[in-house]
Amino acid sequence: MTRAGVLAVGLVTPIGEDLPAVLGRARAGETALRPAPGLQDLPDGRAGVVEGPSLVGWLRRKKDARLLPRAAELALPAAGRALLGFAGDFEELGLCVAVGREPPDEGEAEASLAAIARDGQLDYELLGGPGRALYPPLLPLRTLPNMVLAHVAIQHGIRGENGTWAGGAEAGLQALRAALRLVDEGRAAYCLVGAASSEVDLASARDRLRLGRTFPPGEAAIFALIGRGGRPVRPDAAVTAAMRAAIGDCGPVEGMYGVLPG
Amino acid sequence: MRDVVITAVGLRCAAGSTPGLPDRSWGRPDPDGASLGVPLVARVDGVGEHVDFPDDRKGALAWAAAADAMVGAPAGGRRGVWLGTGLSSLTPDELVRDLYPHLRDGRFDRKALARDLDPDHPAPRRHLPERVTQVIAAAYGAHVAETSFSACAAAAMSIAEAARAVARGDVDMALAGGHDAMIHPIGLLSFVVLGALSTTVARPFDRRRDGFLIGEGAAVLRLEAESDARARGAPILARWLGAGTSVDAHNVTAPHPDGHGAALAMTRALRDAGLTPADVDYVNAHGTGTPVGDRAESLAIRRVLGDVPVSSFKGAVGHTVAAAGAVELALCLACFRDGLLPGTVGLEEPDPECPANVLVANVAKRPRVILSNSFGFGGQNCAVVIGAP
């Protein structure tokens, strides 16, 4: 086995964007869980919501901002910080990303979806008329979870071996294991691995409650640059638990908080 | 690392459930497409709703394919399931049962939505991308369950991850593939507004191509170590040789115009397989039938693999989106069995702007090595290489 470890970490969370400070706040029991806009009518309207983040310096073309799903907005600064100072070959840099559920598609499409309803049923004639005319053309691009990976790759010119994993907290660790194997098997000398998720909208939060997930939702992103010679990855349950309490349940991101800085 | 073979396949696509080379388009007119100006869709017949996947057609398709792939599987052993999946989107059932009851004056009543927390509705479970993988993994006693959400490259990437797990000895047997079902009103609408669907018939690599035929389907391959399969006399449908992935890092909707990312994936797949371009006898192209995509892919194939014969199944069975890499690899198995390189259904006038050697009709030749491409929205690319048994 090649020894691969963490060389750099970048993150965006509701309790900050500086790793030592964020970990310190989480361990000290600080919490960002508070009443969240849009969730006030739910039984527990709290969530861990990131203010911002600022994309200044992390987005090469401002016009790309309209294409970004929320998880990608969180991912870009996190990935960018993990890559600061990286002098390797971006064409061969691996990229493994864990994502949460797809963003719901009824928010922006509300006018279209409402326009195709007749007497509580979907009307096919209206679908081809106002339904089509009102449907936001960019929405499909924002509901694809792998757009997180796409935007990170585009911003940095990353073209190496890659993949997108989905599936709760486990997805973060699956992406991490895949990244370690990429390095171990020699298919990439370095790999950017991370997770980004946001479930603080009404539709996602409502789905969570209906699935019996009563812990408040959160949103965050964390990325790590791994390569040979770094500090070994040690999943740390205490850090994960503290982070969850501080920022909410972020699915795949939660799994990734096992990554410690190199 | 152990050599890996494909020992069984389960398939559900518009052309049926038996791997074979489709010789016509399975696109048919459909009410879901008619009002959106989508003349044809390639639906799967004979798969109804499954009790574990209510209102989730892709789950039902995957379940059926996985069950077929498990026929004759060895008992016990360490098992894993790797599946690629696509968008769940809003279904008509979800709209009617879950959203429209809360529609007031042209807007959704958010207070009413927040109070309606009925746990019995299938929508929340259907929106979990990992659920199909986990249900199938639980059913077959698998201790690994991974879900790829890499758009149209998801199934191919899942198969590649599974093959590597078998090769490393992480598992003794892997079920790997993908599933997707976007032939419903909102699913079709999302492709229509992107201008991705053909308004006539799908014609991959044709001068008149204008988009793809939307399909649905699932395919699940059973992968095992060759030594295990041979020891118990299991049929071997193909040998796993390798895979490569890349990202275009160019644009979220359009491929790199000269196919740079596609070429990288194919080059890495050859390197992983320990092969040279001359070793490849046939390329199963991603070949959706979009003007930009087909040109970029054919440029990449020409650059990496030269004059190798190429064709696309998507004019026949449609683009099965996240399932495409698995469905088409399953169909490729028939090339080994039947000694044929398939032509491209729908192709009549090869586009000179697509410089690859695209086959119009079947060619009688038994390939030794096949490379199959899958490229996804967002620029994720995967090429896999399989060999004759």
Catalytic residue check, B286: yes
Query: Helix (H, G, I), strand (E, B), or coil: what is residue A23?
Result: helix
Measure the CA–CA gap between B189 and B197, rounded to whole angstroms: 10
Cβ within 8 Å of A, B 178-217: 185-186, 189-194
Largest CA distance in chain B: 68
Residue A69 and residue A165 share a domain = yes
- For A146, the closest of B96, B264, B376 (CB atoms) is B376
pLDDT recorded at residue A105: 78
Report in angstroms the alpha-carbon separations of B126 from A150, A198, A206, B85, B254. 24, 18, 14, 12, 29
Nearest CA in chain B to A210: B119
Cβ within 8 Å of A, B 260-289: 260-261, 264, 268, 272
Residue A89 and residue A32 share a domain = yes
Measure the CA–CA gap between B326 and B219, rounded to whole angstroms: 5
B132 neighbourhood in chain A, CB within 8 Å: none
pLDDT per residue over A137-185, tens digit each?
Answer: 999 888 999 999 999 999 999 999 999 999 888 999 999 999 999 999 9
Residue A185 and residue A252 share a domain = yes
- For B89, the closest of A105, A154, A207 (CB atoms) is A105
pLDDT recorded at residue A169: 87
pLDDT recorded at residue A262: 44
Nearest-CA distance B343 → chain A (Å): 31
What's the rounded mean pLDDT across residues B298-307?
98
8 A C-beta contact, residue B42 and residue B202: no
Residue A66 and residue A96 share a domain = yes
Model pTM above 0.90: yes
B170 neighbourhood in chain A, CB within 8 Å: none
Are the beta carbons of B87 and A102 separated by less than 8 Å? yes
> What amino acid occupies position A47?
A
Nearest CA in chain A to B262: A159
Are the beta carbons of B99 and A113 separated by less than 8 Å? yes
Residue A72 and residue A122 share a domain = no
Domains and CATH numbers, chain B: 4-88+127-387 (3.40.47.10), 92-125 (no CATH)
B108 neighbourhood in chain A, CB within 8 Å: 106, 110, 114
A249 neighbourhood in chain B, CB within 8 Å: none
Measure the CA–CA gap between B323 and A215, rounded to whole angstroms: 34
pLDDT recorded at residue B6: 98
- For B193, the closest of A137, A149, A209 (CB atoms) is A137
Confidence of residue A258 (pLDDT cuts 50, 70, 90): confident
Residue A110 and residue A87 share a domain = no
pLDDT per residue over B266-278, tens digit each?
Answer: 999 999 999 999 9
Domain extent, residue A121, equals 106-137
User: Cβ-count burial of A174 within 10 angstroms (0-12 exposed, 13-18 middle, 19+ buried)?
Assistant: buried
Cβ within 8 Å of A, B 220-249: 244-249
ipTM higher than the 0.90 cut: yes
pLDDT per residue over B50-95, tens digit each?
Answer: 999 999 999 999 999 999 999 999 999 999 999 999 999 899 999 9
Residue A86 and residue A193 share a domain = yes
Structural domain count, chain A = 2
Q: What is the CATH number of the domain that holds A96?
A: 3.40.47.10
Residue A210 and residue A110 share a domain = no
* More confident position, A27 or B217: B217
pLDDT recorded at residue A259: 63
Residue A122 and residue A67 share a domain = no
What's the rounded mean pLDDT across residues A233-240?
75
Are the beta carbons of A154 and B106 separated by less than 8 Å? no
Nearest-CA distance B157 → chain A (Å): 7
Nearest CA in chain A to B91: A122
Residue A166 and residue A220 share a domain = yes
Catalytic residue check, B121: no
Are the beta carbons of A139 and B193 separated by less than 8 Å? yes
Residue A64 and residue A12 share a domain = yes
Among candidate residues B179, B256, B260, B286, the one labeled active-site is B286
Among A115, A137, A159, the domain-final residue is: A137
Catalytic residue check, B152: yes
A139 neighbourhood in chain B, CB within 8 Å: 190, 193
Among candidate residues B179, B319, B332, B382, the one labeled active-site is B319
Residue A154 and residue A178 share a domain = yes
pLDDT above 50: residue B361: yes
* More confident position, B140 or A260: B140
